[in-house]
Structures are given as structure tokens and as C-alpha cells.
A and B are shown apart, each in its own frame.
Chain A
Amino acid sequence: MFHIFCPHCGEYREEEEFHAKGEAHIARPLDPDACSDEEWGEFLYFRKNPRGIHHELWVHAAGCRKFFNITRNTQTYEILEVYKLGETPSVVAE
């Protein structure tokens, strides 16, 4: 079970308080109507799903209800950093 530092609460909390929400930094296209079906499908469904460094969105569902990002290794499950929405990750895959 993960031990997650909520950047909004400023504390470590148990994984049970959080929900993983998938890959981070997937922005909604600014002009959806201009997207082709393919582009819209890519936005909706297609994911990097890497083995290794993964930037992902989590929500402190049973806590402050805030969303934030985690950089985590999907193989070792190490959390490498936690950062707020709008911030850039400092740990990136090679």
C-alpha cells in the first residue's frame, strides 16, 4: 500500500484516501470541434502506459478532494515526486 504525500494537506497519508486517475498532463483540446475523430479518440483513450517513470493524476478523494500529480516508477512503485497541477515534473524518463 502506497504512502502518499498530499501536497495540499502537506502530510503523508495512506493510499486508501486517494484515487488514481490515470496519466497526467492530458489536456482537453482547446477546440474540440476542430478535432478529427482520430484526434478526439487519441485524447479520449490512447495512453503512454510506460513501464518505468509515469506522471499520473491522483485525487485525495477521502481527504481534501484536491487533484495533484505524482511521478512514480510503475515497476518499483517508488514515488519519485509529488507536484501540484500546473507545475512541471522535475523527474522525467530518459
Chain B
Amino acid sequence: MQHYSGFGLLKHSLTHHENWQRVWRNPTPKKKYDVIIVGGGGHGLATAYYLAKEFGVTNVAVIEKGFLGGGNTARNTTIVRSNYLWDEAAHLYEHAMQLWEGLSQELNYNVMFSQRGCMNLGHTLQDMRDIERRVNANRLNGIDGEVLDAKQVQEIVPVLDCSEHARYPVMGASWQPRAGVARHDAVAWGYARGADAHGVDLIQQTEVEDLIVEDGTVVGVKTARYGEIRADRVGCVVAGNSSVLANMAGFKLPLESHPLQALVSEPIKPILDTVVMSNHVHGYASQSDKGDLVIGAGIDGYNGYGQRGSFPTIEHTIQAIVEMFPVFSRVRMNRQWGGIVDTCPDACPIISETPVKNLFFNCGWGTGGFKATPGSGHVFAASLAKGEMHELAKPFSMFRFHNGALVDEHGAAGVAH
């Protein structure tokens, strides 16, 4: 793999950038792999990368129906944090957080992970009780967190309306300084480049039409473009399309795919340094390094695979943003879009064995999968390599929906993000 550095840029500028190597190959798939990952988004690519790099499983293919990182990886609002309430979730997301710290160096690809802090506002007494509860849990789990009062909130975010006149005045916030944002595309590309360098075949523009199951065991996938490709183990990491794949293998998942919308403003001069989220007023915003305000909405209530939602959701989100930040009223919305999020009843993911042997699913991340990308990939890779679930993944079995051991993170997941 070609090493990237400032010096490299200088060197290549002398040859007019004509000699940069390809970031990844464009291979024709083999007949059989040890592991096939279905889905070339951030989670799938991270899984492939760690399989090859950490667990020595290099005979791996990632099969992607479109282009790498083209699903929710390309559509999310890039927030990274680990301040989850329950131990199981907190440990998983914090595992991811620790991998984020140093990911650019690990991948030799600048994913622009920017720890500018994330604030979850409280507007009611119950909000503040929940914030205290979560921050206390975070700290005892070794995750950074603070409870801020309204005055401290105002100091960190001067453009936020913290006045008494607001419909729901800001009473305080939880604050995770290590949280922040990352450049979403770069995460997919960095993992893809790293996986490719370790020998993983990245097969793009290839839709999986069926999972081949023989005697209750998965043995490969059927694709439109290359026919059958066999594998010892198959891991599905296809977010909103998980139920569609599960259906191919003959079982149902506790998931619903919903549209999740987001939008950006036109680029404006830096005015918002941190991520600010409000469950109660129901909106959140950060500002990208290009100057766009990156704003998220809630999910639309209906099931949808259309990568778009309904306009009232956008209206409510903008109302919330203008309510929180009155000075944004004259800023203009540039673009809106939608992703397909696979929501789980307890707002936690499924990283799990399935009723089909050797078939594993990593899904159900709902509105908050991006932040978990490295951790999700790492524990899923470990599970696929060994054929048994990683310790951190065990609480997230799909079978918890049978025995009732749910990990209810609705409070911490809060606004879709």
C-alpha cells in the first residue's frame, strides 16, 4: 500500500499527480472465499479490514450492490460519541471510540475525526434526571462525561438561545468532550483501501440476489453479475436492507426500515464548534469543516426503502433548529436527503448468529450506526473469524427479543442521529 503523507503530496505534485496508485483493485471474484461480507458500507468494510489485519482471515470478499460506502455511510450526519446509558451499549460504543482515536494513523488515511465535543441538551426536569443518570453511568464505565448547567452551555455555544423566553428553556446538558464528528466517506474509503491492501476482494456493482442455504447452513451467495460465490461463513452488514436478506435466508428480524432524513445549509463562516443535540426540541446540528450546518431530523414513522421521507419532518427539524438557534433563521437550506435505517425495538443493534448456521448478521443500528463503525467492524470480524460471538457482541444477539433481555437505549439514542 502506497504510504500517504504531506511529503508524498509534495513529491507527487512534482509529477503533476500522475503517479498515484489505485486506492483499491477492481477484482473479479473467486469461486470461493473463507468469508463473504455482504454490504460494502463502513461497517462491512471495517469488518473486512479487521478480519484480514487482526484475525488473519484474508480470503475475504466484500460484495456491494452499488458503490463502496454509498448507503447510510454516505448519508449520515457523521456524529461520533459513546455516551450510552446501559453497560452493554456503552462498552460497545466506547470500544469504537477508542478505535476512532488513532484511526487515521491506523489506516494511513485521514478520516478527519474531530473531537469537538457533543452536547445533549436538557429542557425539562426529567431530561436533567436522565442526563445525570447517563453521565454518572458513563463515568463509572470509564467514559468521559459532564453535566453542564445552562450557563456553562451558553459559554460553549454562544449562538444557542439559552434564555428563559424559549418555549422549552435550556436547563443544562450532558457533555462528552471526546465526542465529535468524522468525515464519513473517508471512513469507508480508508477501510476499503486497508482491506484491499491485505488482500480482501472488494466487489462493487454486484447485487446479492439470494443466500444459498443447504441443510440449514449458508454456503454462499448468488449474484446477478457473477452467479454463485461460495463461502464458509457469510456476514450480512446491509443496514436498511437487512430484512430483505434475512427473508432470502428464510427468517424474520425484529427490524423496521424507516426513512431518516438529514439536511445541510449552505456553507457559512464557522459559528458552531460542537455538536448540539436536543431530544426534547427534537433537532441537532453541527458545522462541517466546509462550513455547512449539518442538521438531522427524526425518522419518518412509516416503513420506507425510498431513501427519502416526508416534508413535514424537515419542517419540524428546521423549526427546532431555528428555535434553538434563532440567528440561523436567515441561513438557507441547501440540500436534503434520506437514508434507510433499520430500527430495532430497543434502539440497539443486532450483532448475532442467526437461525441459519454460519450466517451472521450485523444490523439494527438504526439512526446511530456511523459512530460505531470501527467497533462494530472489529467485534463482528472477531466473531466471523472464530465462528462465535465476541464478548462485546453477545448482549446484542437477535435472540434477546425472545427471552426479553433488551438493552433499551431509546433515551440515549434520543433524536435520530
A interface vs B, CB < 8 Å? 1-2, 15-16, 19-20, 22-23, 37-38, 40-42, 44-51, 54, 56, 72, 74-77
Contact = CB atoms under 8 A, between A and B. Distances in A.
Interface in B222-257: 241, 243-244, 247, 252-257
A46 B252 contact: yes
A76 B306 contact: yes
Contacts of A42: 252, 402
Contacts of A46: 252-254, 401
A74 B303 contact: yes
Nearest to A58: B302
Given A46-B253, A49-B256, A41 B402 contact: yes
B305 A74 contact: yes
Given A37-B404, A56-B302, A76-B306, A16 B312 contact: yes
A80 B116 CA distance: 47
Contacts of A74: 257, 302-306
Given A20-B302, A49-B255, A74-B303, 13 more contacts: A16-B312, A23-B303, A41-B403, A44-B401, A45-B254, A45-B345, A45-B401, A49-B243, A51-B243, A74-B257, A74-B305, A75-B305, A75-B306
7 closest residue pairs by CB, A with B: A49-B243, A45-B254, A20-B302, A41-B402, A20-B301, A46-B252, A51-B305
A15 B314 CA distance: 14
B243 A2 contact: no
Nearest to B300: A20
9 contacts: A20-B303, A23-B256, A37-B404, A45-B254, A47-B256, A49-B244, A49-B303, A50-B243, A75-B305
Interface string B395-415: 000000111100000000000
A44 B345 CA distance: 9
A40 B254 CA distance: 12
Interface residues of B, number: 24
Contact of B253 (A2, A20, A49, A56): A49
Contacts of A48: 243, 247, 252
A47 B255 contact: yes
The interface residues of chain A, by DSSP majority, are classed as mixed
B241 A51 contact: yes
B124 interface: no
B311 interface: yes
Contacts, number: 77
Contact of B303 (A2, A40, A45, A56): A56
Contacts of B311: 1
Contact of B401 (A23, A41, A76): A41
A23 B52 CA distance: 40
B310 interface: yes
Q: Which of A37, A40, A41, A45 is packed against the most chain B CB atoms within 10 Å?
A: A45
A88 to B, nearest CB: 20
A77 B306 contact: yes
B303 A15 contact: no
Interface in B255-299: 255-257
Contacts of B253: 46-47, 49
B401 A51 contact: no
A80 to B, nearest CB: 14
Contacts of B345: 44-45
A2 B404 CA distance: 35
B303 A1 contact: no
A15 B310 contact: yes
A47 B252 CA distance: 6
A49 B404 CA distance: 21
Given A1-B312, A2-B310, A41-B401, A49 B302 contact: no
A77 B338 CA distance: 14
